[in-house]
Amino acid sequence: MGLYLLDYGAGNVQSLANSLTSLGHSFTWISSPDDFQHATSLVFPGVGAFETAVQHLASRGLLQPLREYILSGKPYFGVCIGMQVLFQSSSESSSEGLGIIPCPIERLDDTDKAVPHMGWNTADLACPEDPEQVADSAYYYFVHSYCAKYDPHKYPDAAQWAYTTTQYGQELFISSVRKANVFGTQFHPEKSGAAGLRLIDAWLRKPESAHTSSPGAISAHASSSPRVLIPKSEHRLTKRIVACMDVRANDDGDLVVTKGDQYDVREKTPTSTASTVAATTGGAVRNLGKPVALASQYYLAGADELCLLNITSFRHSPLRDQPMIAVVRTAAERVFVPLTIGGGIKDTVDPDGTKHPALEVAGAYFRAGADKVSIGSEAVLAVEKMLASEKNEGDGTSAIETIAYAYGRQAVVVSVDPRRVYVDPETYDGPYKGELIRGRPDSKVIEERGKAWWYQCTVSGGRESRPLSVVQLAKGVERLGAGELLVNSIDRDGTGLGFDLDLIRLVKSSVRIPVVASSGAGTAEHFCQVFKETGVEAALAAGIFHRGEVGIKDVKKCLNDNEIRVRLG
Ligand code: 1PR
């Protein structure tokens, strides 16, 4: 069979290619308009932003051939933008869609929930008697800010296309479509673990004739009127558990997963009473395993997402750091949940003077298989620049803005490394008065008692403090276009004392985008605590997972026992 994959040239489509390869399906990339004629099945993993996708397709002369291919009745499977492009238009863009489904794509409402809708949710069959492809109770991975609202009164023709619907907050949207030769999912089966791989495999293993229809069959109107689904009172989006690997070269030049205590990743220098063995290892970079092996292990253990942070990237350009790119590539071939890559996502200049914009750096990671990039230091500097500008807005050139424009804001995470600055609550009269947290007199952390503090942003892995608070940063990066915030805490990192609930609550209440709590997890109960007390969408840990003290399954069991929705199995 002639299975082709459409890459419009600016989306992170490697993940879908990896899933096909792992399932044993070979494919050819569409590289010119003529290729559509050779394709007997077509998958369009349109990850990214609607505007960029449609513009790229049009500029490469692929938009009209794509439309003709779909109308010809040959099998088509679109993922995310690959599904959205079937619709009339998108409020994300001034470009028109293919107009095959007569309904617009609209922005999700963020007044009652975080947007993007990011994480694992269910896809409920619109016709339960037709469970051919989607498993009714399975969780699939969603990441999008725009959707086709399920509204049979307003858009009766579009409702006829609804194969599954998904509830998020008070909104019910079409999460997959199916009609004649066309199948499309808003969620990402290639990032949905075993359930997603099963769905892709089932579609591909069916004879092509079963997905083929007569030309124009998709335009036919169904005779029956669609069922009117009533939104559920509660959505089924799960809380996400993220395993994070801080990666750097050790003193022998090998890339290892390391873990700091408050960002110090070297073994403690031994005292004079230490053994000779300890003395020889003192000061070495702490080595907790190999990045690809650990990533595979956490995927199999049920992690909902993985994060690889190149923690010394500020020293050189990531594009010259080929071993790190190779790590990402190999990990992405084995891991079928979202993979975030961070470290050094910024404009860089090689020693020979060659400039690489942040967009190019991110593009290299996306092509290697990353699903999201995480921006640290550069985000702090971009917000400082924005706040100092006359108009108090971004100028379109920052890493956040350029990457979000090309790949969609859901592909841009900002990782913030705040540190507490303790002040005397009675005398402090500085600019962060409104953000002060007051320590409880009975706090377990002695330095908190009777004190107050604000959270200061740092760059270069905590080495330099900047004149910016975490609240300013959170609000600033949301305005610039970040899709998610990863909130570390230098004070809690590696301590096992639990997440800094004051910090996480403060950030969560400052933004509408999803927030990932990080730093300080020491027990499974700490995860329950952070979800219950702050409402964050995800929580991340490193040390306890690397040292095998608490497993991902233990965390999920604890959450499930406490009636916090998680993806089990
Ligand atoms: O500034 O864009 O180049 O990005 C650098 C990235 O590397 C940032 O995301 C920054 O947080 C990270 N980083 C830099 N130096 C260190 C270090 O440890 N010396 N690691 C570092 C940050 C924080 C988390 C950690 C959690 C959970 N590590 O990654 O995994 O704190 O730890 P725990 O569960 O063991 O407490 P740029």
DSSP class of residue 550?
S
> The tokens of 381 are what?
């500097």
More confident residue, 457 or 153: 457
Known active-site residue 190: yes
With 70 as the cut, is the pLDDT of residue 48 above it?
yes
Q: Are 393 and 36 in contact (CB under 8 A)?
A: no
> The tokens of 194 are what?
């075993």
* Top-ranked range on mean pLDDT: pick from 35-49, 179-193, 215-229, 438-452: 179-193
Nearest residue (CA) to ligand 1, atom 7: 311
pLDDT at position 132 is 64
pLDDT at position 173 is 95
Judged on CB neighbours under 10 Å (0-12, 13-18, 19+), 466 is: middle
With 80 as the cut, is the pLDDT of residue 231 above it?
no
How confident is the model over 416-430, as a mean pLDDT?
A: 93
Q: Quote the CA–CA distance of 15 and 45 in Å, as a whole number.
A: 9
CATH 3.40.50.880 segments of the chain: 3-212
pLDDT at position 92 is 77
Give residue 229's pLDDT band: very low, low, confident or very high (50, 70, 90).
Answer: low
pLDDT at position 278 is 39
Span 239-257, pLDDT tens digits: 999 999 999 888 888 889 9
Known active-site residue 80: yes
With 50 as the cut, is the pLDDT of residue 280 above it?
no
Span 107-132, pLDDT tens digits: 999 999 999 999 999 998 877 666 56
pLDDT at position 272 is 44
How confident is the model over 403-419, as a mean pLDDT?
A: 94
More confident residue, 275 or 119: 119
> The tokens of 476 are what?
């600033």
With 70 as the cut, is the pLDDT of residue 562 above it?
yes
With 60 as the cut, is the pLDDT of residue 273 above it?
no
Percentage, residues of the chain above pLDDT 70: 91
How confident is the model over 474-496, as a mean pLDDT?
A: 97
Cβ of 485 closer than 6 Å to ligand 1, yes or no, is no
Question: Which pTM does this prediction carry?
Answer: 0.93
pLDDT at position 323 is 78
Known active-site residue 144: no
More confident residue, 365 or 260: 365
With 60 as the cut, is the pLDDT of residue 374 above it?
yes
Indicate the top mutation candidate among 311, 347, 530, 549 to test ligand 1's pocket, ranked by most ligand atoms within 8 A of CB: 311
> What's phi and psi for 106, nearest 5 deg?
-125, 160
Which of 94-108, 123-137, 204-218 is the least confident region? Answer: 123-137
pLDDT at position 279 is 40
Q: Which atom of ligand 1 is nearest to the CA of 307?
A: 29
Q: Check: CATH 3.40.50.300 for 3-212?
A: no
pLDDT at position 320 is 62
Alpha-carbon distances of 159 from 92, 173, 271, 360, 512, rounded to whole Å? 21, 10, 71, 40, 29
With 50 as the cut, is the pLDDT of residue 400 above it?
yes
pLDDT at position 269 is 65
Name the active-site residue from 92, 171, 246, 384.
246
Helix/strand/coil for 313: helix
Encoded amino acid at 219, one letter: S
Nearest Cα to Cα of residue 458 among 405, 371, 547, 519: 519
Span 64-88, pLDDT tens digits: 999 999 999 999 999 999 999 999 9
Q: Are 147 and 109 in contact (CB under 8 A)?
A: no
- Report whether 287 belongs to an annotated binding site: no
For the four alpha carbons of 529, 303, 257 and 464, in that order, the dihedral sign comes to negative
Name the active-site residue from 304, 417, 448, 478.
417
* CB count in 10 Å sphere of residue 136: 11
Q: Are 529 and 499 in contact (CB under 8 A)?
A: yes
How confident is the model over 271-287, as a mean pLDDT?
A: 57
**392: alpha, beta or left, given left = phi > 0 and alpha = psi -120 to 50?**
left
Mean pLDDT of the chain: 90
Name the active-site residue from 7, 35, 80, 491.
80
What CATH number was assigned to the domain covering residues 240-264+275-419+457-562?
A: 3.20.20.70
Span 3-32, pLDDT tens digits: 999 987 766 688 999 999 999 999 999 989
- Report whether 488 belongs to an annotated binding site: yes
pLDDT at position 90 is 84
With 90 as the cut, is the pLDDT of residue 101 above it?
yes
Cα 86 to averaged position of ligand 1 atoms, centre (Å): 40
> The tokens of 342 are what?
């961070």
Paired with 101 in beta bridges are 87
pLDDT at position 227 is 63
Alpha-carbon distances of 82 from 117, 478, 479, rounded to whole Å? 18, 26, 27
With 70 as the cut, is the pLDDT of residue 282 above it?
no
pLDDT at position 277 is 40
Cβ of 378 closer than 6 Å to ligand 1, yes or no, is yes
How confident is the model over 224-242, as a mean pLDDT?
A: 76
With 50 as the cut, is the pLDDT of residue 294 above it?
yes
Cβ of 380 closer than 6 Å to ligand 1, yes or no, is no
More confident residue, 495 or 319: 495
pLDDT at position 11 is 63
Q: Are 543 and 494 in contact (CB under 8 A)?
A: yes
pLDDT at position 541 is 98
